[in-house]
Structure formats: structure tokens, C-alpha cells
């Protein structure tokens, strides 16, 4: 009997080790953040235009520089210090690295659908209306896989995310828009309170600080294996025509991503077992069209992709890539076959 108990204990320890070693993914989107700022830094035309920038000298002092490389590092210091040396950054069109969305709409819901399902559905997804997505996301598929069951969490600043991820069918835990944390700990109770007491700038989009910290608390306390975070401020400040807020938000998003990465490198559950995938849902125009996107805006289909973590090795970054490749890329990172009846994009890796 003692030998049997010892054997069972050994098997239990092995199972716990295997579970702990399962690959984790943190998938992040920065809504409508342009490749131009990601790779070139501050836009000289926009930063000097008081129509779009109410803090011209302040913004130039903080983020302008003698070269695009210096300027972009000021806006996104984590991306251009750590990630650029340890990961993959695609979409620098100056260097022949092209990333586009595959859908023809070039706005948010179609972009998110394509990115999370691997399929651009121009028939059913052609507005930002709150309709339940008929397509199944990789996050829903993983939540039904025995390795990741009940370990997939979705957070977003935009209140359309529950529909994009089809909350009715997927049963995914989704906190988006002005949702409260459910069964909150003390930190989450405070976040619920502060969110309610903060004046709302946009009806359907909350500030990213709430989305980020709700997600961070879940990362710390519920240990999801798959975490999606959809930051939204960059798009809404751009639509408002506020270039200074757009840049400042991107700078803060960079700090948030660093905070998430630093946490995963300290927690044994995540350390050396976690890959980050970061992208945007669409591009924007240039010049006076920078505020806008859509099929009539030149450049609104231009995207970018960032990946880093334990499963990311160097690849040739030149050539053409699409957002619809990310769903299968994610499953390759995890080691699960992606079966779909749709013509999905092939893995980048």
C-alpha cells in the first residue's frame, strides 16, 4: 500500500509539473495605433499643429528627438529597449516589412474578428454594431480545450468586446467597457469604485488604467493561462483629434506592457513559459486623415505585430504579413492544432 501511495503521489507531482509548464499567452491590442509612430516616433507635422496638439512644446520636449529611432524609443521605451532585442517587430514599411489587415472594412470590429479568429468575414462583420460574432475565436476554442479550460480571460476598454467574443456562446469571462469585477477582492472593489467615480469621456470606452489593472489583478490572483487585453484610448483620442493624448496614451500603454512582462518574469507560474503577442485592429490615415480610418482612408489597412517571450525566435521580418495569421500563430506557440472550417491565415512562425 505504501508503494502505491508513493507512486500516486509521484504521478500527482508529475501532473502538477506538466500543468505548470503549459505555455501561457498574453495577447494585447492597441486600438488604432499607427505603424508610423511605432517605427518613426513623433509625427513632425501633427506635433506642430495646434489644431491637433494643445501641448506642442511639452510634447516635443518629452518625445521629439533628432532621429526617428530616438523619438520612438522615448514614446515606447520598453518596446524599443527590451522587446526590439529579444523579440520580433513586424510592420516597418521603411524596411520592407509589411503588415496589413486582410478584411476590406479597415475599422475595429472587422479587425478584431480577423485577428482573434484567423478569418476576415466581410459578409457578416461589416459594422461596429453590437452583434454576436458568428465566428469562433481562438480564445473560445482554447477555453474548450482540456489544457486551458476555464483559464482564458478577456479584458477590454471597449464595450463591444463581449459581442466580438460572443459572450453568449463562448461563456468566456469578459470584463469590458464599464463592467465591474465580479466577486472582487479589495483592490478590485477599489477599482470598481474609482471607475464609477471617474467622469466618462466616452460612452462606450473606459480609460485603459481600469482595463489594465482589472487584468493585472486577475493575472496575479487567478493565474489565467490565456489573457487578452484590449486597450482603447489611442483610437478614441485620435478620433477626438487630440494628438498629444494619443501619444501620451501609447507611452502609458508601453509602461503597462512592461508591468505585465515584469510580473510574468517574477511569478514561477509564468516565468520562461509566457509569450506576448501585441498588435492593432487597423491603421489610420496620414496628414489631416490621421484621425480617421475605414475603407476610404488610405493606409487604414496598415497594421503591425510584436511578439516576444520564451517561444519567439528570430525570423525574417521582411515581406508581407497579415493579422489573420495570428490565430494560428498562437496555436503553434501553444502546441495545439487549429482546426477551422474557414480559410484562416497561416502561422507566422
> Residue 4: its pLDDT value, please?
52
> Residue 325: its pLDDT value, please?
98
Sheet holding 24-30, edge to edge: 87-90, 305-309, 274-279, 24-30, 226-231, 152-156, 174-176
Fold exhibited by the domain 23-334: Alkaline Phosphatase, subunit A (3.40.720)
Q: What is the band of 324 on the pLDDT scale with cuts at 50, 70, 90?
A: very high
> Residue 19: its pLDDT value, please?
43
Measured distance CA(114)–CA(111) in Å, rounded: 5
Does residue 8 carry a pLDDT above 50? no
pLDDT digits 0-9 by tens, 35-64:
999 999 999 999 999 999 999 999 999 999
Q: What is the band of 10 on the pLDDT scale with cuts at 50, 70, 90?
A: very low
> How far, CA to CA in Å, does 205 sit from each of 161, 188, 211, 250, 305?
10, 19, 10, 16, 23
pLDDT digits 0-9 by tens, 200-241:
999 999 999 999 999 999 999 999 999 999 999 999 999 999
Does residue 15 carry a pLDDT above 60? no
> Residue 12: its pLDDT value, please?
40
DSSP strand pairing (97-100 vs 274-279): unpaired
pLDDT digits 0-9 by tens, 54-105:
999 999 999 999 999 999 999 999 999 999 999 999 999 999 999 999 999 9
> Residue 106: its pLDDT value, please?
98
Cell numbers given for 244: 498629444
Average pLDDT, the chain: 94
Q: What is the mean pLDDT of residues 119-136?
A: 98
Does residue 7 carry a pLDDT above 90? no
Does residue 186 carry a pLDDT above 70? yes
Per residue, what are the HEC states of 41-80?
CCCHHHHCCCCCCCCHHHHHHHHCCCCHHHHHHHHCCCHH
> Residue 338: its pLDDT value, please?
82
Alpha carbon 115 to its chain's center: 10
Q: Helix (H, G, I), strand (E, B), or coil: what is residue 267? A: coil
Q: What is the mean pLDDT of residues 268-275?
A: 98
Q: Where are the domains of the chain?
A: 23-334
Does residue 261 carry a pLDDT above 90? yes
Q: What is the band of 21 on the pLDDT scale with cuts at 50, 70, 90?
A: low
Sign of torsion over alpha carbons 240, 154, 216, 307: negative
Contact assessment for residue 13 and residue 19, using Cβ atoms and an 8 Å cutoff? no
Measured distance CA(16)–CA(314) in Å, rounded: 31
Amino acid at each position: 500500500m505504501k508503494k502505491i501511495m508513493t507512486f500516486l503521489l509521484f504521478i500527482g507531482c508529475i501532473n502538477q509539473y506538466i500543468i505548470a509548464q503549459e505555455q501561457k499567452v498574453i495577447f494585447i491590442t492597441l486600438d488604432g495605433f499607427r505603424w508610423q509612430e511605432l517605427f518613426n516616433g513623433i509625427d513632425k507635422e501633427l506635433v506642430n499643429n495646434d489644431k491637433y496638439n494643445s501641448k506642442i512644446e511639452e510634447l516635443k520636449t518629452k518625445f521629439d528627438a533628432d532621429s526617428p529611432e530616438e523619438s520612438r524609443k522615448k514614446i515606447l521605451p520598453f518596446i524599443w529597449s527590451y522587446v526590439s532585442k529579444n523579440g520580433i517587430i513586424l510592420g516597418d514599411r521603411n524596411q520592407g516589412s509589411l503588415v496589413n489587415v486582410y478584411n476590406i472594412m479597415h475599422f475595429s470590429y472587422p479587425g478584431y474578428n480577423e485577428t482573434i479568429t484567423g478569418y476576415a468575414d466581410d459578409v457578416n462583420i461589416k459594422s461596429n454594431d453590437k452583434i454576436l460574432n458568428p465566428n469562433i475565436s481562438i480564445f473560445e476554442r482554447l477555453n474548450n480545450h482540456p489544457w486551458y479550460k476555464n483559464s482564458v480571460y478577456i479584458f477590454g476598454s471597449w464595450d463591444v468586446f463581449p459581442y466580438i467574443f460572443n459572450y453568449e456562446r463562448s461563456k468566456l469571462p469578459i470584463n469590458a467597457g464599464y463592467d465591474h469585477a465580479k466577486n472582487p477582492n479589495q483592490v478590485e472593489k477599489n477599482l470598481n469604485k474609482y471607475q464609477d467615480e471617474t467622469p466618462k469621456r466616452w460612452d462606450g470606452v473606459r480609460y485603459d488604467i481600469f482595463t489594465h489593472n482589472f487584468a493585472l489583478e486577475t493575472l496575479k490572483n487567478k493565474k489565467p493561462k490565456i489573457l487578452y487585453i484590449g486597450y482603447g484610448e489611442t483610437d478614441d483620442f485620435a478620433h477626438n483629434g487630440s494628438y498629444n493624448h494619443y501619444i501620451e496614451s501609447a507611452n502609458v500603454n508601453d509602461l503597462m506592457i512592461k508591468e505585465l512582462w515584469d510580473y510574468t518574469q517574477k511569478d514561477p507560474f509564468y516565468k520562461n513559459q509566457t509569450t506576448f503577442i501585441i498588435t492593432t485592429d487597423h491603421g489610420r490615415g496620414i496628414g489631416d486623415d490621421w484621425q480617421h480610418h475605414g475603407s476610404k482612408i488610405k493606409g487604414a489597412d496598415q497594421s503591425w505585430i510584436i511578439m516576444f517571450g520564451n517561444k519567439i525566435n528570430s525570423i525574417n521580418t521582411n515581406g508581407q504579413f497579415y493579422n489573420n495569421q495570428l490565430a494560428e500563430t498562437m496555436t503553434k506557440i501553444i502546441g495545439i492544432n487549429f482546426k477551422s472550417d474557414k480559410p484562416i491565415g497561416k502561422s507566422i512562425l
